[in-house]
Amino acid sequence: MIFTVAIDGPAAAGKGTISRAVARHFGFAHLDTGLLYRAVGAKGGDPVRAAQTLSEADLTRGDLRTLEAGQAASQVAVIPEVRAALVDFQRRFARREGGAVLDGRDIGTVICPEAEVKLFVTASAEVRAHRRWLEVGGDEAEVLAQVIERDKRDAERLVAPMKPAADAVVLDTSEMTIESAVAAAKAVVDTRLSAEV
C-alpha cells in the first residue's frame, strides 16, 4: 500500500513529535525533511554541492538539532537549486510501499500535493519559543526573536513558502498536550485510511 501523510508547520509546533508517533502507530516510514536542510547547512561549503551529494549518513550527525543548524537550514532552504536537489529524494521516500510520514514546511504544498493526508501543525510564536528554549536553553527572549525571524523567512521565501495546503487539516497545539495532539493527528489518518479500504 502506498499512503503518504504530509505534516507541515513552523519550528517547535510539535510536528516532529506528532510525525514520529503517527509513523510508529501505523507502521509507516518517517522522514524529518528538515534534517535534510540541516545536514546541508551543517556540511558547509557550497550548499548546492552539499545537497547534491547528501547521503543518509549525513542525517545521523549529532549537531543537527542545534539552534545554529536550524538557522543554517533556513538559510540554505531559500536556494532554489538546493531545494531541487532534495525534492526527488523526498518524493521517492513518500511514495514507498508500506506508507510514509514526512514532516517539513512544504510537503503538502510542493513535495507531495497528492498526499492522502495533509496536516498543518502550528502554535503561537511565544509557545513555540518557550518549547525551543526548554530544549536548548539560552536567553528566552532571543529564542523568541529567532523563532519570529525564521517564521518570516520561511513564509516569505519565493520558492515553496511555508503555508498550509488548501486541503490540509490545521492542528493548533498551543493549548494541547502532546498526547491530545497525537490523538487528533491519528484520528485524521484513521479516517482517511478507513476510506481507502
Q: Residue positions in the annotated binding site? A: 9-17
SS (H, E, C) the chain: CCCEEEEECCCCCCHHHHHHHHHHHHCCEEEEHHHHHHHHHHHCCCHHHHHHCCCHHHHHCCCCCCHHHHHHHHHHCCCHHHHHHHHHHHHHHHCCCCCEEEEECCHHHHHCCCCCEEEEEECCHHHHHHHHHHHHCCCHHHHHHHHHHHHHHHHHCCCCCCCCCCCCEEEECCCCCHHHHHHHHHHHHHHHHHHHC
* Binding-site residues from annotation for ATP: 9-17
